[in-house]
Amino acid sequence: MVVLREESEESLNQLFRALADGTRRDILARAIAEAPTVSELAAHYEMSFAAVQKHVAVLQRAGLVRKRANGREQLVSTDRERLKRATELLDSYEVLWHQRVAQLDDVLREGE
């Protein structure tokens, strides 16, 4: 398997754990298009403000979003490079999968 950059196992686990939750993926998508405040994000979900803050914190620890102060508010924006890293990793698994399927096809053809 081709791994484009060395990265710790824990860092990768953190990245994919953050992406495993639907609410966090939705927050990430909203933060790609614009830089909403945490309050604006919280308005979209049937959960407490504190719960949304926790989701944002998980994304932040995984490096997928950044928060920056704008007066008393916190703006949330997506770190596109980190998101690109997730895409690269999944693409490398897809390449491996295609190679394995091609090998299986070769074995099945030999048996004919």
Q: What DSSP string runs through 16-67?
A: HHHHTSHHHHHHHHHHHHS--BHHHHHTTSSS-HHHHHHHHHHHHHTTSEEE
Residue range 78-97, pLDDT digits in tens: 998 888 888 888 898 888 88
For the record, the structure tokens of 24 come out as: 């966090």
Work out the end-to-end distance of the chain between its first and last CA atoms, rounded to an integer number of angstroms.
30
24 closest CA partner among 67, 53, 59: 59
For the record, the structure tokens of 12 come out as: 């990768």
Residue range 48-70, pLDDT digits in tens: 999 999 999 999 999 999 999 98
Model confidence, pTM: 0.77
